[in-house]
Homo-oligomer: A and B are copies of this chain.
Amino acid sequence: MAAAVPIDWIVGWLDVAGVAVFAASGALTASRQQMDVVGFALVATVTGIGGGTIRDLLLGTGPVFWVFAPSYLFLCVGVAILLFFAAPLLESRFRALLWADAAGLAIFCVIGAEAALRAGSPGSVAVLMGVITATFGGLVRDVLCAEVPLILRREIYATAAAVGAGVYVGLDAAGAAPIAATLAAFATAFGIRAVGLTRGLSLPVYRNRPGRDDGDGGHG
């Protein structure tokens, strides 16, 4: 049944959905900074198209994807205007931001890895490109708004993108149908991030051993 749906159609819609949810996460961050509506639109647009833009720049494939496809910009601006008025209705904008970011992370790690493989990159590069596509839009958002990057929060974050991109590259190398690889990788990345968000789970982190460091005070 699923095999009857063309993969390009799925990837195309996932891409649109990823841009939209990252644009929403940008608008919600703008709301935390009490920006005006143009600020909402700018942060939403940069967040929505930022990850894919950096991916296209690194792959060196000429003008980035939205330069001749302005509908991406209309989508981001539309989401920004909607949230400028609708955000106050959200029970908790910070939780909404985290979930929109999680969905974008899961979508873009697949899209990024898929685009890199299509451009002929080896698998390891495709995994990194998935992680960069998934995390750098949000990073630019947080830098633009002077917020602490989500990547620094305790819960599993970049790990979800890395595993998701790895699942896609692995299934692709194993000859799986593109649609199966896409959906499995998305579900894996989103599931891992969701567990991190709902349970506060994290990988074992590096811990300073107190008393061994000079110049590290306050970080231990």
Q: Check B92 against A213 for contact (C-beta < 8 Å).
A: yes
Interface-side segment among A101-109, A155-163, A176-184: A155-163
CB-nearest residue of chain B to A85? B206
CB-nearest residue of chain B to A145? B152
Q: Check B31 against A206 for contact (C-beta < 8 Å).
A: yes
Q: Check B60 against A213 for contact (C-beta < 8 Å).
A: no
The residues of A with any CB-CB pair to B shorter than 8 Å are 30-42, 45, 53, 57-64, 66-68, 70, 73-74, 84, 87-88, 91-95, 116, 119-125, 128, 131, 135, 139, 143-146, 148-149, 151-152, 156-159, 162, 202-209, 212-216, 219
Chain B residues within an 8 Å CB radius of A37:
203-204, 206
A146-B149 CB under 8 A given contacts A60-B64, A67-B60, A216-B94: yes
Which 4 residue pairs are nearest across A and B when measured between Cβ atoms? A36-B203, A94-B215, A60-B63, A38-B159
A143-B143 CB under 8 A given contacts A125-B70, A205-B36: yes
Residue A213 contacts which of B34, B94, B213 (CB distance < 8 angstroms)?
Answer: B94
A42-B158 CB under 8 A given contacts A60-B67, A203-B37, A205-B35: yes
A93-B62 CB under 8 A given contacts A68-B121, A124-B73, A152-B146: no
Q: Check A42 against B131 for contact (C-beta < 8 Å).
A: yes
Closest beta carbon of chain B to A188's beta carbon, Å: 14
Residue A206 contacts which of B40, B73, B123 (CB distance < 8 angstroms)?
Answer: B40
User: Complex Cα distance A81/B157, Å?
Assistant: 18
Closest beta carbon of chain B to A167's beta carbon, Å: 14
Residue A208 contacts which of B34, B38, B68, B152 (CB distance < 8 angstroms)?
Answer: B34
Chain B residues within an 8 Å CB radius of A31:
206, 208
Q: What are 22 residue pairs bridging A and B, where the CB atoms are less than 8 Å apart in the complex? A: A32-B219, A37-B203, A38-B159, A39-B151, A39-B158, A42-B131, A45-B128, A57-B57, A58-B67, A60-B67, A66-B125, A67-B125, A68-B125, A73-B124, A73-B125, A73-B128, A91-B214, A92-B212, A92-B213, A94-B215, A143-B143, A145-B152
